[in-house]
Amino acid sequence: MEQSKHFFYVVECCDGSYYAGYTNHLERRLHMHNEGKGAKYTRARRPVKLIFYKCFDTKQEAMKAEYYFKKLSRKNKERYIMGGE
């Protein structure tokens, strides 16, 4: 049985803001955001584009990364996305 993957991801909204989230199916989640069926935050800020993602073995690890990212300042979020975690 194939183990499912868990993703922490960041999209950039049309207004330049970031939205960070968790999913176990990245393509489907991005499609949902752009169809207006994703998070309330992204509904009014479409289209969104994927600018970062990281794959984890467990949901807990992915959600921990999401929580960490959301606490960062905008400048540190940009640094994280560019690989400078």
Residue 9 contacts residue 64 (beta carbons within 8 Å): no
Residue 22 contacts residue 59 (beta carbons within 8 Å): yes
Confidence of residue 3 (pLDDT cuts 50, 70, 90): low
pLDDT of res. 30 = 97
Domain boundaries, the chain: 6-84
Closest of 71, 23, 73 to residue 50, by C-alpha: 23
pLDDT at 49 over 90: yes
Percent of the chain at pLDDT above 90?
91
Q: What is the mean pLDDT of residues 8-20?
A: 97
**pTM (two decimals):** 0.92
Q: What is the mean pLDDT of residues 69-80?
A: 97
CATH topology of domain 6-84: GIY-YIG endonuclease (3.40.1440)
End-to-end CA distance of the chain: 33
